[in-house]
Amino acid sequence: MAEAAETQETPSAAACRWYRHLATVLVGAALLLGLVQLPAAPAARAESTGSRPVEVSVHTLTPAAPKQDDTLTVSGSVTNTGGSTISDAHVGLRVGSQINSRVDADETGTRSSASGAADGSEIGKHTQKVDKLPPGASRDFSISLPAKDLDLSRDGVYQLGVSLSGRTADQGFERVLGAAQTLLTWQPSAIEGKKTQLTFLWPLISATHLTARTESDQQQTPIFPNDDLAAELAPGGRLQQLVALGKDLPITWVIDPDLLATVEAMTKSYRVGGPDGKNTPGRGQAVAKQWLSQLQNAVAGDQVVALPFGDPDLASLAHHGKDVPGSLSHLQSATELASTTVDTILGVKPRTDFAWPVDGAVDSSIIDVATSAGAHNVIARSDSFRDRTSYSPTAARQIGSGNTAVVADARMSTGFQGDLVRAGEYSLAVQRFVAQSLLVNRQAPDNERSIVVAPQRMPTTSQAQAMAAAIKALSDNRWTQPVNLGDAAAAKPDPDANQQVPGTGSYPDSLREQELTTKAFQEIQKTQVTLDGFKVILTSQDRVVTPFGSAIMREMSTSWRGDRKGAAEFREAVQSYLYGLTRRVELIKKSDVTLSGRSATIPMTVHNGLLQGIEGLHLVLESSQTNRLQVDRSQPVKINGGQNQSVKFETRANANGPVRVTARLYTDEGQPYGDPVLFTVHVTSITPMVLLVIAGGVLLLVLAGLRIYIKRKRSATRAAEGGQPGADGEGPENGGPGDDRPARPGDPAPDTGSHDTEPSGSGEKVER
């Protein structure tokens, strides 16, 4: 039995050994296969970690939304960013998955082109070979193919990949070495549902370029801080490109009238400020005239919306300025000036009933301020008015009190921000915009909706070019239809759209940090008060009110956001210049005065250093001691430009001594003007009582002298007749007092002769 058992176990053991050998062979084969494939492992990891050695950039995709019979052309460049030379390379196109979400459309192409996925199969027969690509080298490519070869069965938006495949020295097999993504909008024919009404705002806004400074001449030649605006107006400049591109586009022009007024000032003679006050002639007259002429032609037939003059920062006014007295009145003035400026310069009657807060960010206080000056339509943005609908509703919203919020689409409005100088970024921005417009339509194809696009206020040249390319891509109106802003505001609101104005706490902190401060508005109001006190004395107020009124509006401009230092310097410059003008009308300093009589005249001189005449002023002298010195209190002042006037004041002195006198100018409204002039009047005159006493003393002296004279004359007469006068010439015979002395021996006997009955001589007193 033992033999039998052993015989039975031998085949089983052999089988086990055979299975073990087979397992060993399989494991070895697996390990060998793994070793063979190990060189490819780093490439796989590289793809997953985003380290592909080639950067692919798509520069153009034309047309942006091809039709069935179109030829699609994709061009761009490839750059070897790795350390190995690439050979046997080619560029190919890959149609990826369809995109149905606006969020996915935003994210497409955001990944680095070096790590972008190469979704989809490569479209055969439509590739382009690329020569050897050493490290750091670039090659351009351009692939054209019939649109029908894309083999797209359904309308919609697709990912379109552009990839470079090739070999490297360390990995000799062909693989994808770099890829980029863009969007392909496929809508070969007009949609069967309702088209989306699309409004695109085209802003003509610039930074502040003009202050209130002018030359001291009759023409009031303006002085610009610099000549930067001329570069923007010149061919190829930002503003020139905006006008040239917008001329043939279905857009709504949104214009800051201050820009028009500034350019119009450049069409005449102007100066540019230099160091040490040395102004040089401006050189932008020709380009300014050409630009205005081109703009007049471009806006013909289009709707023009005029922002308040200077484009005031509505959010800053609402959050910091409305509590400063007089600040909101500037917004009303800026709105009124906007209409006349655009009408005068462009010959177009603009809409002034639209307000546009920065980035369309609003809250209840901004709405209140924006509508306070008559703008019943406020341009907001959907990231401020948050909707809960699954689709993008119509822009117009009724927000109460007869006001409308025109809510622009945030994704489409912000699609052209950033640096679009690079061709890849430029092309992707255009493709995203076109794709988003179709995706919006496909959200609710049976609902006719009005969508508004409000881009950044001051787009760069490249941004403007991308905007124009995107609008032109929709020119065949397959799923969109252009309308102006007025029609968008009048569209029937969507009942499901959010009509609740956001609260003040919802305003973004990042925007609030850029606002003008309360102190800034207080300084602005200080300048206005100075101007109000100055203009009342001028005979030609417009020469001052117009430039300074415009400068005050510019002090509130949205363009100062993010530049508080520049805004403060601008305000200081305006205030200092205005204060300097007011000081040109002044009282000439006066030295001390001495009055030697009971009444006298004190002259005062008023200097007018302005080119125009002044009136409405009164000069007042105030005595600190009216009991000593009384002065006529007021004299009118009216002086021609560049002249002086001497004003005389009658004074009356009542007592001797120094008196402090204050001379000051006042307006007709009783407001003090300029600085006072102080001087001392030294009074040396005497009072009537003193004069009476002195006169009495003088009279007594005269009478006493006359009496002595008469007595002496009589004494001389007696002596001539033989008489002896008294010792002092005043004996009784001369009318003097009697001699009461006792008689002494030797004294002559009294004269008892007869009296002379003839009349007495002249001057003699006759006693009766």
How many C-alpha atoms does 50 have within 13 Å on its Cβ side?
6
**Distance, CA of 205 to CA of 257 (rounded, Å):** 9
Nearest to 456 by CA among 238, 667, 272: 238
The answer as to whether 637 is a domain residue is yes
CATH of the domain at 613: 2.60.40.10
* Number of domains observed in the structure of the chain: 4
pLDDT at 255: 98
What is the maximum span of the chain, computed from C-alpha positions, in angstroms?
227
Counting as low any pLDDT under 50, the low residues of the chain are 1-50, 111-117, 724-768
Question: 683 lies in a domain?
Answer: yes
Determine, yes or no, domain membership for 710. no
Which of 653, 670, 688 delimits the end of a domain?
688
What is the predicted pLDDT for the residue at 558? Answer: 97
Measured at the CA of 302, the angle between CA 296 and CA 303, to 5 degrees, comes to 110
The rounded distance, in Å, linking the Cα atoms of 309 and 723 is: 115
Helix pair angle (257-266, 285-298), 10° resolution: 140
One domain, residues 79 and 146 = yes
Neighbour-count burial for 704-721, b at 16+ CB within 10 Å, e otherwise: eeeeeeebeebbeebeee
Distance CA 74, CA 63 (A): 9
Residue 447 lies in a domain: no
In a domain, 144, yes or no: yes
- Last residue of one domain, picked from the residues 186, 203, 225: 186
Which of 629, 662, 688 is the last residue in one of the domains?
688
Write down the pLDDT at residue 11.
36
Domain-embedded: residue 444: no
**What amino acid is encoded at 28 in this protein?**
G
Q: How far is CA 553 from the centre of its chain?
A: 8
pLDDT digits (tens, 9 = 90+) for 416-467: 999 899 899 999 999 999 999 999 999 999 899 999 999 999 999 999 999 9
Same domain, 639 and 663: yes
CA distances from 348 to 254, 487, 495 (A): 13, 18, 35
Please check whether residues 10 and 78 belong to one and the same domain: no
Beta pairing partners, 184: 158
Range of the domain at 551: 518-582
Do 67 and 166 lie in one domain? The reply is: yes
Q: Does residue 295 contact residue 345 with C-beta atoms inside 8 Å?
A: no
Q: In what order do the strands lie in the sheet with 71-80?
A: 54-62, 71-80, 138-146
The answer to whether residue 383 sits within a structural domain is: no
pLDDT of res. 711? 83
> How high is the pLDDT of residue 216?
85
Same domain, 118 and 21: no
Q: What share of the chain is helix, strand, coil (3-state, %, to 5)?
A: 35, 25, 40
Residue identified by tokens 């400068």 is: 551
Could you give the 3-state DSSP secondary structure of residue 404?
strand
C-alpha–C-alpha distance, residues 620 and 640, integer Å: 20
**Co-location of 667 and 592 in the same domain:** yes
Helix (H) or strand (E) holding 35: helix 2-37
For 679, residues 6+ apart whose C-beta sits below 8 A from its C-beta are 590, 591, 592, 593, 661, 663
DSSP class of residue 559 equals: G
Cβ neighbourhood burial of 207 (10 Å; 0-12, 13-18, 19+): middle
Residue of 463, 557, 447, 539 whose CA lies nearest to 497: 447
Q: Are residues 572 and 589 in the same domain?
A: no
CA distances from 182 to 154, 269, 460, 576 (A): 18, 50, 23, 55
Alpha-carbon distance of 467 to 202, in angstroms, equals 9
At 591, list the tokens. Answer: 């030295």
- Residue written as token pair 């007092």: 737
User: CB-hemisphere CA count at 13 Å for 481?
Assistant: 12
Both 25 and 94 in a single domain?
Answer: no
C-alpha distances in Å from residue 407, one per residue of 256, 378, 453, 485: 21, 8, 9, 11
* pLDDT value, residue 679: 94
Specify the pLDDT at position 27: 37
The answer to whether the beta carbons of residues 539 and 614 sit under 8 Å apart is yes
Residues 93 and 177 placed together within one structural domain of the fold = yes
Tell me: do 578 and 613 sit in the same domain: no
- pLDDT given for residue 685 in this prediction: 58
- Positive/negative CA dihedral, 737, 742, 743, 745: negative
Judged by phi (left if over 0) then psi (alpha if -120 to 50, else beta), residue 190 lies in beta
Note whether 546 and 639 are same-domain residues: no
For residues 192 and 112, is the Cβ–Cβ distance under 8 A?
no
Whether residue 597 sits in one domain with residue 535: no
User: Is 528 part of any domain?
Assistant: yes
Match 């490439």 to its residue by tokens.
43
In this prediction, residue 52 carries a pLDDT of 84
- Contacts of 31 by beta carbon, 8 Å cutoff, 6+ apart: none
Tens digit of pLDDT for each residue in 533-557? Answer: 999 999 999 999 999 999 999 999 9
